[in-house]
Amino acid sequence: MHVAVIKNPKIDLAFEKCSVYDNTFTMKDESKKRKPYKKKRFTVPIIIIVILVLFRIFLPYIVKNYVNGVLADIPGYYGQVKDIDISLIRGAYVIDSLYLNTVKGESQIPLINLGIADISIEWKSLIKGKIVSEIEMTRPQFNYVFEDQAADTVAEADVEVWTKALTDLVPIDINNLKIIDGKASFLQIEADPNIDLYIENIDLIATNLRNVDRGDAELPSELHATAISIGEGQVKLDGKMDIVKEIPDMDIGFSLENATVTALNDFTNYYAGIDFARGNFNLYSEFAIAEGFLTGYIKPLLKDSKLIEKEDKFLEKLWEGFVGFFKFILKNQGNNTLATKVPIEGDLNALETKILPTVLNVFKNAFISAYKGDTDNTVTFEDAEAKGKSNTTKSDRKEERRQKRAERKAEKKKN
């Protein structure tokens, strides 16, 4: 039996329209369901970005308030910071005018002002697998107040608190340090008049402090500095170090040349009761430290100097005459210099200045040969290393003898 299939073009067209119509409704329903999902997908990242931007904007203020709180709460001290700028891309932050003062009753004495301190990650060391920082300070100032160090009221714990507060600002070990136009002062404010011995225009570079590039060098870190002293003297400092050790090893040379000695009159008058009318002051020093043992010298020279003749009390005039007499007798008549060489040698925990060689060196300069105005290049790191090992051996032998005596006493008590 055959079934006849009758096709009606109108009916087929109607079915097709219904099908298309149904599909259209299906697509619209799906698009309505997707729109909320699309909104959520973009909303979350936007919120995160906004939060990060706001955090970046307010981060310097948060850090500044935190630092100011820490500085204000240090016992016996008070400090603040003017501004802090943070660069996340560079991995750095800049501290503007952080200062710390010593509080004395109602008054404050400046202790430290860091000027502009730029602290950043050292990227070339990061490539080598070392996470270290580098600091560049512009116009920092450091004041050493004699009374603060001598007073019993200043506890070591307080000093540790403020030093820790400052070092915590740099949570990463410092590898390179640069100082531009710095100033360091020694102040004695209770003297009359006040004593202010300073070194200004300090330009200093210290590199490889954390031994990132050590190699075979015994002293891998380098230090170079120049400055101007009180009396317009020329200051120079050069050396090598290894400060990673508990007791740092170093080999340092220092010179101060052609400082006008009259600028030191407040100091010399307070401590020696003498004033200078003219003259130049020079100071040379070398020292080396190895295995906790120091060897070196300090060599002061006074050239073309003359004391002030003034109407003082009888004893003051007698003292200045006494000083002037020995100054004339002990100075080298050839180049008109008064000089000596003070050797310093010994364990860092028990340094001793050798008095007899110091006195003999005065007479040596006067009557045998004048000291030259320069470092002698007679102190080397190898000298300190050899003496340090020898000193350690002696200490070991001494400790060994002490232990043997203690053992013999214990045996006698038993018997």
Handedness of CA 314, 316, 322, 324 (dihedral sign): negative
pTM: 0.74
For residue 120, what are its two tokens? 């950043």
45-72 pLDDT, tens digit per residue, is 788 888 877 877 888 888 888 888 888 8
Q: What is the mean pLDDT of residues 400-407?
A: 67
Angle at CA 272, nearest 5°, toward 333 and 349?
Answer: 100
Question: With pLDDT > 90 as the criterion, what percentage of the chain qualifies?
Answer: 27
Of the candidates 135, 132, 58, the one whose C-alpha atom is nearest the C-alpha of residue 95 is 135
More confident residue, 343 or 246: 343
Q: What is the mean pLDDT of residues 319-342?
A: 65
282-308 pLDDT, tens digit per residue, is 999 999 988 888 888 989 888 888 877
DSSP one-letter code for 154:
S
Determine phi and psi for 156, rounding to 5 degrees. -60, -30
Is the model's pLDDT at 4 over the cut of 80? no
199-226 pLDDT, tens digit per residue, is 999 999 999 998 888 777 889 999 999 9
Q: Say how far apart CA 84 and CA 95 lie, in whole Å.
A: 5
Position 153 scores a pLDDT of: 47
Q: What is the mean pLDDT of residues 139-147?
A: 88
DSSP one-letter code for 214:
-
Q: What is the mean pLDDT of the chain?
A: 78
Strand partners, 226: 203, 236
